[in-house]
Amino acid sequence: MPVSEPAVLTENNATKISGDWLATTVQSVEENANGHALAAVDQIDWSQLGRVDSAGAFALLHALGVRDLGDNVPEQLRRVLDIVAPAMQEHATKKPRKSYGFFTGLGRKVVTALGELYGNIVFLGRSEVGVGRAVINPRRLRVRALVSVMQQGSLEALPIIMTMTFFIGAVVALVGTNLLQNLGASVFTVQLVGVSVLREFGVLIPAILLAGRSTSTFAAQIGAMRMNQETDAMVVMGVDLTEALVTPRVLAMIITLPLLSVAAMIAGILGGLLVSWASLDISPVFFVERLRQTVDLQHFWLGLIKTPVMAIIIALTGCRQGMAVRGDVEVLGRNVTTAVVQALFAIILLDAAFALVFMKLDL
């Protein structure tokens, strides 16, 4: 159907309304609407009026600057006006402004941060109690949830973790070869690969990967359950949320992260071994022999001792941010991001702290 432009014509004290007044056409009227000298509404000529929809009727009232068009309006316009006119307001409601002065804003931020900290401490305490209870009384443990998290969160991450550490081991060997060859000490490559993979990469890479993979999953799962009121239903049923949701995830991470780390260490050393074999002609047998002679077993244990702490961070940040979800999808997305960022930050920071402590202890 062709559409004709809507218009208001004023000539010799007579006002004539013409055209189709539709949502898709009224913008042009709106732009030059002001200042029509209007004849009495009863004398408006409606004969050229086309179709009218509610946005059009609204624009018409707006353009004419009136709220009532008298009794002579055509039937179709009459019906639209009957529902539009009562709904019209004189002025647009202004958006309520929420702005604070500098100090008020700062104060609110501090209070929010302290509240967050308090919440974190409470959450940590509850989780400790929950995990402790499950350890003391294993019948409280939800084995199915635990096994399911172990499979989805950890077992399924095994291939990617091993691939990543394999390449990191290879890169360390490659870089080490280049540097150490200049010093005529290329045989130390074996030691370099062994120590760095056992102490750092074998632990850090799985932890970082799980911080991206599992922390976000936990936050999203628990957050979605909160939005769907599933957690409320559990509380009413008398289910302890920590016991049902947090404990299995924490325990699953504590159990599997050391295992993943060992797998990652094997993959990393394998990567180093292959590169050494290819570029330095160090045979695998000699590599392993050299590894046993020069790399002390304590490096392995020092790496492994960090894993439970990392595991707790991975699981708890995810669960905590998931539990904090209130309301809409926006909050869910923000909390998942926060969880991952916090977990990554804490892992790197703690790794640095461990390195310092170990150095001071001459380990």
Partner 1 sequence: MAERERVIEVRDLKTAFGKTVIHEDLDLDVYRGEILGIVGASGGGKSVLLNTMLGLQRPISGSVVVGGQDIFNNPDRKWLASNMGVMFQNGALFSSLTLQENVEAPFLEHTEIRGEFLSRLAQMKISLVGLANDAAYKRPAELSGGMKKRAGVARALALDPKLLFLDEPTAGLDPLAAAEFDDLIVSLRDALELTVVMVTHDLDSLFQISDRVAVLADKKIVASDAVEKLRDSEDEWTRSYFQSRRARRFNSGGN
Beta strands in the chain (DSSP E): 7-11, 14-21, 45-52
Q: How far apart (Å, rounded) are the C-alpha atoms in residues 150 and 48?
A: 74
Residues 16, 36, 62, 142: which binds partner 1 (CB under 8 A)?
62
With respect to partner 1, which residue has the nearer C-beta, 91 or 144?
A: 91
With respect to partner 1, which residue has the nearer C-beta, 89 or 182?
A: 89
Q: How far is the CB of 337 from partner 1 (least distance, A)?
A: 14
Q: Is 4 among the residues that bind partner 1 (CB under 8 A)?
A: no
With respect to partner 1, which residue has the nearer C-beta, 23 or 111?
A: 23
Q: How far is the CB of 90 from partner 1 (least distance, A)?
A: 10
Q: How far is the CB of 92 from partner 1 (least distance, A)?
A: 5
Please list, in sequence order, all residues whose beta carbon lies within 8 angstroms of the beta carbon of residue 40, skipping any fewer than 6 positions away. Answer: 70
| Count of residues engaged in binding partner 1, rule: CB under 8 A | 30
Q: Is 20 among the residues that bind partner 1 (CB under 8 A)?
A: no
Q: How far apart (Å, rounded) are the C-alpha atoms in residues 299 and 293?
A: 13
With respect to partner 1, which residue has the nearer C-beta, 84 or 262?
A: 84
Whether the Cβ atoms of residue 80 and residue 57 lie closer than 8 Å to each other: yes
Residues 79, 108, 109, 292: which binds partner 1 (CB under 8 A)?
79
Q: How far is the CB of 59 from partner 1 (least distance, A)?
A: 7
Virtual CA dihedral for 264, 159, 135, 147, nearest 10 degrees? Answer: -170
Q: Is 140 among the residues that bind partner 1 (CB under 8 A)?
A: no
Residues 4, 5, 13, 30: which binds partner 1 (CB under 8 A)?
30
Q: What is the 3-state secondary structure (H, E, C) of 228-285?
A: CCHHHHHHHHCCCHHHHHHHHHHHHHHHHHHHHHHHHHHHHHHHHHHHHHHHHCCCHH
Whether the Cβ atoms of residue 197 and residue 265 lie closer than 8 Å to each other: yes
For 20, 44, 84, 273, 277, the CA distances from 33, given in Å and listed in that order, are 16, 16, 19, 80, 83
Residues 80, 164, 252, 346: which binds partner 1 (CB under 8 A)?
80
Q: Is 112 among the residues that bind partner 1 (CB under 8 A)?
A: no
Q: What is the DSSP string of 280-319?
A: H---HHHHHHHHHHHS-HHHHHHHHHHHHHHHHHHHHHHH
Q: Is 75 among the residues that bind partner 1 (CB under 8 A)?
A: no
With respect to partner 1, which residue has the nearer C-beta, 84 or 211?
A: 84
Subset of 322-361 contacting partner 1 (CB under 8 A):
327-331
Q: Is 232 among the residues that bind partner 1 (CB under 8 A)?
A: no
Whether the Cβ atoms of residue 223 and residue 210 lie closer than 8 Å to each other: no
Contact positions vs partner 1 (CB under 8 A): 22-24, 26-27, 30, 53-55, 58-59, 62, 79-80, 82-84, 87-89, 91-93, 95-96, 327-331
